[in-house]
A and B are shown apart, each in its own frame.
Chain A
Amino acid sequence: MITLKNVVKTYDDKTVLKDLSVDFPDGKTTVILGPSGSGKSTLLRSLDLLVRPESGTIDFGDISLDYSKPVSKKQSFDIRKKTSMVFQNWNLFPNLTVLQNVTTAPITVLKRPKKQTEQEARQYLAQVGLAEYADRYPSQLSGGQQQRVSICRAVAMNPEYVLLDEPTSALDPELETQVLLILEDLSKMGQSMILVTHNMEFARSVADKIIFVEDGDILFDGTPDEFFNHPTTRIKDFLSGITFNDTEK
């Protein structure tokens, strides 16, 4: 379980996370929803310290950390070891082959044996239907394929949590589906995930828990059933806005 308490993040004079407290359960998929600019990415990035909030605490298994205190290299290493990030634009390393993209971190960072790591990586790639792409470069793959590789790259680090920031927002619907199917599988396998998405249908089908963020505040924290079937007025507006349902606006 990851528990955030009283997290505050300010950019210049704009408070992006306002004293936010939330937890992310183990083995579950937590979906973060909310309008653009509400602080979803900032929240997600605080979890693996890509963003450093000014105050608040994070409890993550055996690690407790106070954001307002200096973070040691070891603490940041340990936290990042428990998490892997999947980015909206996948951010694969263009100078490495698909296989190397998946294996370089386990081999260099975790000091895993090369042969075995490569074998495992090929299995991950096969699972996402990219076995025969192992020796190509990312630029030779479509966006959807690249995103699938980046999911393999994240999973190959054996993280406790996979963090995904709008993993399908840069993809057309067909490619999006390929990626969503893989994420659905991961979710079913009990992989702990925290996912930011604008795809409501997917959120509904995959989420065990939903968090709705607006203006750096958490307006909703509960089950998908509550969120979609018994929404508050604000959430209703949000959901109708996102489905282009003009009549309700």
Chain B
Amino acid sequence: MWHIIITSLPEMISAMLQYTIPLAIISFIFGLILAVLTALIKFIQPSENKLVRYPWLVLRAIANFYVWLFRSTPLLVQLFIIFFGLPSAGIELAPFLAAVIGFSLNTGAYASETIRSALMSVPQDQWYAAYTLNFTTRQTLMKIVLPQAVRIALPPLSNSFIGLVKDTSLASSITILEMFQVSQQITAKNYQPLLMYSLAAFLYAVICTLLTFLQHYLERRTSRYVKGSEA
């Protein structure tokens, strides 16, 4: 048994480092950017100025549609449409790029709701206090509201990230040789499904455990100001 593990481990770790982890990290970064933009578009009330108001309402409609679309359809189906479907419409994407696009859009849709709820959880009084001090909306967001929202959004965002790491296994279905795909290939040769899939599961668990530590570290850092936290 150890022999099998030791011989297949390098291949699996290499797939992990080459595809699983980069896919997860890159998609999460883009997803997060999308999520923040989407959340802000939905959260911020447009000013009365018509030149700002109408474009903003259009943006908001787009944001709503985007979140609805990606939360209402399975991730696997989204990946299939992007990779296998779009070529019929003349858009051909490399597997890795297709996967990054799919994962980013999907993560962005879910995380945008996380961030929006974190923004909403900052009391309205914080805005009033900022406005009486003549902060602009942007300054209030950057200096007061976002720092507080980040702390609240961290645990659910960590959920999204950990979920994404595991969801990268779906990339195998669009021809990417990520870790799970490699474990399948090795199984096809050595007929050890229990061992190989357990090994894959173990490696996913290792990544996710490290992420949990990262989450705890970030939580401590962003909670310095909270009562009862020692810092």
Measured CB to CB, the residues of A under 8 A from B are 48, 50, 70, 77, 80-81, 83-85, 87, 89, 91-97, 104-105, 108-109, 137-140, 153, 157
Contacts and interface: CB of A to CB of B under 8 A. Distances in A.
B85 interface: no
B131 interface: yes
Interface size for chain B: under 10, 10 to 19, 20 to 34, or 35 or more residues?
A: 20 to 34
A108 B135 contact: yes
Interface string B196-231: 000000000000000000000000000011110000
Given A95-B148, A137-B225, A105 B135 contact: yes
A81 B151 CA distance: 31
A87 B48 contact: no
A83 B132 contact: yes
B55 interface: no
Contacts of A153: 133
Interface of B: 48, 123, 125-126, 128-135, 139, 143-144, 147-148, 151, 224-227
B134 A80 contact: yes
Given A91-B128, A108-B139, A77 B144 contact: no
A157 B226 CA distance: 26
8 contacts: A84-B133, A87-B125, A93-B143, A94-B148, A94-B226, A96-B143, A96-B225, A108-B143
B133 A105 contact: yes
A76 to B, nearest CB: 9
B226 A139 contact: yes
A45 to B, nearest CB: 8
Nearest to A156: B133
A70 B144 CA distance: 27
A80 to B, nearest CB: 5
Chain B binding surface SS class = helix
Listed from nearest, the 6 A-B pairs whose CB atoms lie closest are: A105-B133, A139-B227, A91-B129, A137-B225, A85-B132, A95-B147
A87 B129 contact: yes
A161 B162 CA distance: 52
B190 to A, nearest CB: 54
Nearest to B128: A50
A53 B131 CA distance: 17
B65 to A, nearest CB: 31
B141 to A, nearest CB: 12
Contacts of B48: 70
A109 B139 contact: yes
Residue from the set B126, B139, B225 with the largest chain A CB neighbour count within 10 Å:
B225
Residue from the set A48, A70, A93, A137 with the largest chain B CB neighbour count within 10 Å:
A93
Contacts of B134: 77, 80-81, 105, 109, 157
A137 B144 CA distance: 14
Given A50-B131, A70-B48, 19 more contacts: A48-B132, A50-B132, A80-B133, A80-B134, A83-B132, A87-B129, A89-B125, A91-B123, A91-B125, A91-B128, A93-B126, A93-B129, A94-B148, A94-B226, A95-B147, A104-B143, A109-B133, A109-B134, A139-B225
Contacts of B132: 48, 50, 80, 83-85
Contacts of A109: 133-135, 139
A97 B130 CA distance: 15
Residue from the set B132, B134, B227 with the largest chain A CB neighbour count within 10 Å:
B132
A97 B225 CA distance: 8
Contacts of B125: 87, 89, 91
A48 B134 CA distance: 10
A87 B144 contact: no
Nearest to B133: A105
B139 A95 contact: no
